[in-house]
Amino acid sequence: MSEPAYIQDIGGYEGKTVTVQGWVADKTDKGKLQFLRVRDGTGVIQATLFQKAVPPEAFDLAKHVAQESSVVVTGEVRKEPRAPGGYELSVSDMHAVQLARGEFPITPKEHGIEFLMQNRHLWLRSSRQHAILRIRATIIRAIRNWLDDNGFLLVDTPILTPAAVEGTTTLFETDFYGEPAFLTQSGQLYNEANAMAFGKVYCFGPTFRAEKSKTRRHLSEFWMVEPEWAFGTLDDYMNVAEQMVSYVVQTVLQERATELKALERDTTFLEKIVPPFPRISYDEAVEIIRARGDANFKWGDDFGAPDETLISEQFDRPVFVHHYPTDMKAFYMAPDPIRPAVCLSADLLAPEGYGEVIGGGQRSDNLEYLEAQLLKHNLPRAPYEWYLDLRKYGSVPHCGFGLGVERTVAWICKLDHVRETIAFPRMLEKIMQ
Ligand code: 4AD
Ligand code: MG
């Protein structure tokens, strides 16, 4: 048998005979000539069969093989500028691993989103999904590389937790040996313990929120990266986040040009993503909304998606909105020492209408303030006792943030909805697969 090869490496085999193992994506019948498009997960290659050049069984197979049958194709790698990818396989033999049983549900024609979601397990084989999920993988790797190279230690945080981090309304409750436990909403509280132990840390994992409304930006299960560090301030957080986000975008531009092109992404917007990012206060953001959108926007209200779009439209890069009203944000946010009605928090809003991709800020390092905040937010003290300990033994100013992977992928790929940014999305819907 000739050498097995992956399609992504095929250029290195020009003139040689190789074996490609994959699936039939598509085919064209030209009588004595059969063209198959074979996909192996790393790419797609055109396989050309001349009736005279292959055994009769192989030719017959090519003529009748259904879409998404699995096949092993042997042939010589030839440069072919007209073929997608620039190479083709001049086939000498081919056999089937499994012939598809019936017509593949997803054909090149347009399908509705409902149907595609029901067939998500098969839809993943399409070139659009390949582009998106490859970009996702690159984004995740770039995030990890940046943090690892900048002194952040990966410390994993638990998924089963006893208490809320981001409010009690979106908790997923489970049964933990007869006691209630919740799927993690954020690793942050543990990150704070870890930062006091290791200085600069991050966690990166699945995060759960029972989001009871259907939007383009919300999943019930999403992936969040959360860096946290001791002796850090609100400004430090914004400096770190803008470096990290810029590195991620530039890495995708360098490494995933083909995929961005497949998605018809206009990259001029992405090329501009370099530090520094503009920074405006919540007060200034409210002024923008009142001047250009809702004249009656009330100070203290949260921004809706159209408000965020309006704010981000004023800038060509992501924009930090800082000093949100204290009452709007989670219990742990440090109040501004001069103006306690606002807190040392900031969100990063992505351009092109993508809204919040990062939430973060400086945490309160004051024991009495946090005790009062637990009461104010109606949170029971017992599950937070360990968290309060961090303010008893060498409490220091510290900060951190959380970046949502799916919203970042949606923005970089310019997708309408987060559902395509993860292989098997969990949303306010029945779990199908
Ligand atoms: O703003 P959030 O709720 O912040 C936190 O959880 C902090 N504890 C993070 C920290 O400081 N360590 O969430 C952070 C980010 C959001 O900006 C968004 O990108 C993403 O997580 N996110 C979601 N993504 C998809 N679906 C959802 N339901 C999301 N909720 C938050
Ligand atoms: Mg937020």
Q: Please state which of the ranges 166-170, 181-185, 205-209 shows the lowest mean pLDDT.
A: 166-170
Q: What is the pLDDT of residue 84?
A: 79
219 lines ligand 1 (CB under 6 A): yes
Nearest CA owner, ligand 1 atom 31:
404
Q: Which residue among 140, 152, 157, 186 has the greatest number of ligand 1 atoms within 8 angstroms of its CB, and so is best to mutate?
A: 186
Instruction: Please say whether the beta carbons of 222 and 120 come within 8 A.
Output: no
Fold match between 3-98 and 121-420? no
Instruction: Give residue 291 CA to ligand 1 midpoint distance, Å.
Output: 28
421 lines ligand 1 (CB under 6 A): no
- pLDDT of residue 31 exceeding 80, the answer is yes
Could you tell me which of 58, 19, 17, 25 has the C-alpha nearest to residue 41? 25
Q: What is the pLDDT of residue 1?
A: 63
Tens of pLDDT, residue by residue over 92-149, are 999 999 999 999 999 878 899 999 999 999 999 999 999 999 999 999 999 999 999 9
358 lines ligand 1 (CB under 6 A): yes
Q: What are phi and psi of 22, to 5 degrees?
A: -170, -150
The SS3 assignment for 380 reads coil
Instruction: Give residue 226 CA to ligand 1 midpoint distance, Å.
Output: 9
362 lines ligand 1 (CB under 6 A): no
**What mean pLDDT is reported for the chain?**
96
Pairing verdict, β 398-404 and 355-363: antiparallel
Q: How far apart are CA 297 and CA 284, in angstroms?
A: 12
Half-sphere exposure of 404 (CA within 13 A, CB side): 27
Tens of pLDDT, residue by residue over 335-377, are 999 999 999 999 999 999 999 999 999 999 999 999 999 999 9
Please tell me the number of the ligand nearest to residue 417's CA.
1
- pLDDT of residue 56 exceeding 80, the answer is yes
Q: How far apart are CA 326 and CA 339, in angstroms?
A: 10
Instruction: Give residue 345 CA to ligand 2 midpoint distance, Å.
Output: 10
Nearest CA owner, ligand 1 atom 29:
218
Q: What is the pLDDT of residue 3?
A: 87
Q: What is the pLDDT of residue 109?
A: 83
Please tell me the number of the ligand nearest to residue 349's CA.
1
Q: What would the mean pLDDT of 221-226 be, rounded to a whole number? A: 98
Give 36's pLDDT tier (boundaries 50, 70, 90): very high
Q: What is the pLDDT of residue 419?
A: 97
- Of all atoms in ligand 1, which is nearest to the CA of residue 358? 17
Instruction: Give residue 165 CA to ligand 1 midpoint distance, Å.
Output: 11
Tens of pLDDT, residue by residue over 376-387, are 999 999 999 999
222 lines ligand 1 (CB under 6 A): yes
DSSP bridge partners of 22: 71
Neighbours of 362 (CB within 10 A): 24
- Burial label for 431, CB within 10 Å (0-12, 13-18, 19+), is exposed
Domain 121-420 CATH assignment equals 1.10.1670.10: no
- Of all atoms in ligand 1, which is nearest to the CA of residue 219? 26
The CATH class that applies to domain 3-98 reads mainly beta
Q: What is the pLDDT of residue 143?
A: 99
Q: What is the pLDDT of residue 213?
A: 86
Q: How far apart are CA 74 and CA 92, in angstroms?
A: 6
Percent of the chain with pLDDT over 90: 96
> Strands, E, within 107-264: which ranges?
153-154, 160-161, 173-176, 179-183, 200-208, 221-230
Q: How far apart are CA 39 and CA 74, in angstroms?
A: 14
In DSSP notation, 270-293 reads: HHT--SPPPEEEHHHHHHHHHHHS
226 lines ligand 1 (CB under 6 A): yes
Instruction: Give residue 388 CA to ligand 1 midpoint distance, Å.
Output: 23
In the chain, where are the structural domains located? 3-98, 121-420
Kindly tell me the sign of the dihedral angle through the C-alpha atoms of 227, 233, 234, 237. Answer: negative
Q: Which residue among 155, 192, 207, 332 has the greatest number of ligand 1 atoms within 8 angstroms of its CB, and so is best to mutate?
A: 207
- pLDDT of residue 224 exceeding 90, the answer is yes
Q: What are phi and psi of 342, to 5 degrees?
A: -115, 160
Instruction: Please say whether the beta carbons of 305 and 355 come within 8 A.
Output: yes
188 lines ligand 1 (CB under 6 A): yes
Neighbours of 71 (CB within 10 A): 23
- Between CA 73 and CA 78, with CA 77 as vertex, the angle to 5 degrees is 130
Percent of the chain with pLDDT over 70: 100
Q: What is the pLDDT of residue 250?
A: 98
404 lines ligand 1 (CB under 6 A): yes
- Of all atoms in ligand 1, which is nearest to the CA of residue 226? 12
Nearest CA owner, ligand 1 atom 9:
402
CA distances from 47 to 19, 39, 101 (A): 11, 10, 22
324 lines ligand 1 (CB under 6 A): no
Instruction: Give residue 175 CA to ligand 1 midpoint distance, Å.
Output: 24
Tens of pLDDT, residue by residue over 318-340, are 999 999 999 999 999 999 999 99
402 lines ligand 1 (CB under 6 A): yes
- pLDDT of residue 246 exceeding 80, the answer is yes
350 lines ligand 1 (CB under 6 A): no
